[in-house]
Chain A
Amino acid sequence: MIPQPRIGVVMYPGSNDDHDALWALAALDAEAVPVWHDEPELPELDAVVLPGGFSYGDYLRCGAIARFSPATAAVRDFAEAGGLVLGICNGFQVLCEAGLLPGVLLRNESLRFVCRDVRLTVERDDLPFTERCIRGQRLVLPVKHGDGRWFAPPELVAELEANRQVVLRYAEPCNGSVADVAGVCNGRGNVMGLMPHPEHAVDPLLGSADGALILAALVDAARDRTILSI
């Protein structure tokens, strides 16, 4: 029997895509495990997802307060030990504020909340999050954010481009992100964040199933880790 990988979804006060993430992971045959934000230790997990929403009301800066949650500290230890971590939207903002991913997310250039499907280009197909994609492939995923403009200073952008840490780019104007960055990974490739929402696009009935390519790749990679640990 193929083992079901256990993937945690951290629930912060103000997270609102946590249940969609749990549902999508379960639909893709993972055991989706809710993790409450004040848990100082993670249960036995093969991967962690930080979901979208408005943790702690986005006070001060989006993701700035969630970074101090006990669960975030546990996620940091998990990531530093090589664990797979995916941050979606607010989860991406939290990972940037926590220093687990490079850059920061700022108010959209238009000052408008963007809520629509966008086209994206896959830049990396060799990560645990993108192995079901092909480099150069176009994906269609929904975005819904007011603070999605990824920014890093030019020297950091050059370094990230040289290290191939840009994973997804917008293929159309979206929020004013530097270098059209929609998703990045850390140097080691075990932590990724993206502003678009794969968990809202795992069934064609919802307009696109392209999100399943990313989440199912994560489920595959998490399953490989389960098998290795048995």
Chain B
Amino acid sequence: MRAIVLVRPKEGILDPQGAAVESALGHLGFAVSGARVGKVVDLEVDAADEAEARTQVEQMCERLLANPLIESYEIELHG
């Protein structure tokens, strides 16, 4: 099963990369605000069903893919 993990800086965490991207977009003439930079991890998970895959990926996020002090995560699963 294909899993897409989105890892984001938590709300309230200073994200200087997001601020730099926002400022650069401003220089290009785009009126944007609230830019935040996170990361995407694509995975192929060996699991019997979606529930098992989700449990596995949640454990991966808690133990390695995200640092819960500073990052939140979202998991998308595709059959």
Chain B binds chain A: yes
Residues of A within 8 A of B (CB): 60-61, 64, 68, 97, 103-104, 106-111, 149, 151-153, 176
Contacts of A153 in B (CB 8 A): 69
Which residues of the other chain, B, contact A108 by a CB distance below 8 angstroms? Answer: 16
- Pick from B13, B17, B67 the residue with the most CB of A within 10 Å: B67
- Specify which of A64, A68, A106, A110 lies most central, judged by the most chain B CB atoms within 10 Å of its CB: A106
Is B14 an interface position by the 8 A CB rule? yes
Q: How far is the CB of A94 from chain B (nearest CB, A)?
A: 13
Please give, as numbers and ranges, the residues of chain B lying within 8 Å of A106 by CB-CB distance: 13-14, 70
Query: B residues engaging A (CB < 8 A)?
Result: 13-14, 16-17, 20, 64-65, 67, 69-70
A104 to B20: give the CA distance in the assembly, Å. Answer: 21
A104-B69 contact, Cβ under 8 Å, with A60-B64, A64-B64, A111-B20: yes
* Interface of A, helix, strand, loop or mixed by DSSP: loop
Instruction: Please name the residue on chain B nearest to A64 by beta carbon.
Output: B64
Given contacts A108-B16, A109-B14, A111-B16, 8 further A-B contacts (CB under 8 A): A60-B64, A60-B65, A64-B64, A106-B14, A107-B17, A151-B69, A153-B69, A176-B14
Verify B69–A103 contact, CB threshold 8 A.
Answer: yes
Query: For A149, what are the chain B residues with a Cβ–Cβ distance below 8 Å?
Result: 14
Cβ–Cβ < 8 Å partners of B16 in chain A: 107-111, 176
> How far is B65's CA from A190's CA once the two chains are assembled, in angstroms?
28
Q: Within the complex, what minimum Cβ distance (angstroms) separates A37 from chain B?
A: 17
Residues of A within 8 A of B69 (CB): 103-104, 151-153
Cross-chain contact B13 with A111 (CB below 8 angstroms): no
Contact of B67 among A61, A107, A109, A110 (CB under 8 A): A61
Contact (A104, B70) CB under 8 Å given A109-B14, A110-B16, A151-B13: yes
B24 to chain A, nearest CB (A): 12
Give CA–CA (A108, B17) in the complex, Å.
10
Q: Once bound together, how far apart are the Cα atoms of A97 and B17, in whole Å?
A: 21
